[in-house]
């Protein structure tokens, strides 16, 4: 198993690369998406 971390500025192609990796069968974990879900209204983390 390989673990790959994608970093880069706005418009650097992170979403394009992660989408392509997903097409090839990779499991993609989007930390930005998870972070937004955690602090949605009504979530306990928002109160902290």
pLDDT for 47 beyond 90: no
Q: What is the pLDDT of residue 27?
A: 96
pLDDT band at 10 (very low <50, low <70, confident <90, very high): very high
pLDDT for 40 beyond 90: no
**Cα(10)–Cα(27) distance, integer angstroms:** 22
Judge whether 18 and 30 are in contact, CB under 8 Å.
yes
Domain parsing of the chain, residue ranges: 1-25
pLDDT for 44 beyond 70: yes
What pTM was computed for the model?
Answer: 0.70
**Cα(27)–Cα(23) distance, integer angstroms:** 10
DSSP annotation string for 7-38? ---TTSSHHHHHHHHHHTT-----HHHHHHHH
């Amino acid at each position: 198993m390989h673990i790959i971390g994608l970093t880069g500025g706005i418009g650097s192609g992170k979403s394009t690369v992660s989408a392509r990796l997903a097409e090839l069968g990779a499991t993609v974990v989007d930390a930005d998406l998870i972070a937004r879900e955690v602090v949605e209204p009504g979530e306990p983390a928002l109160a902290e």
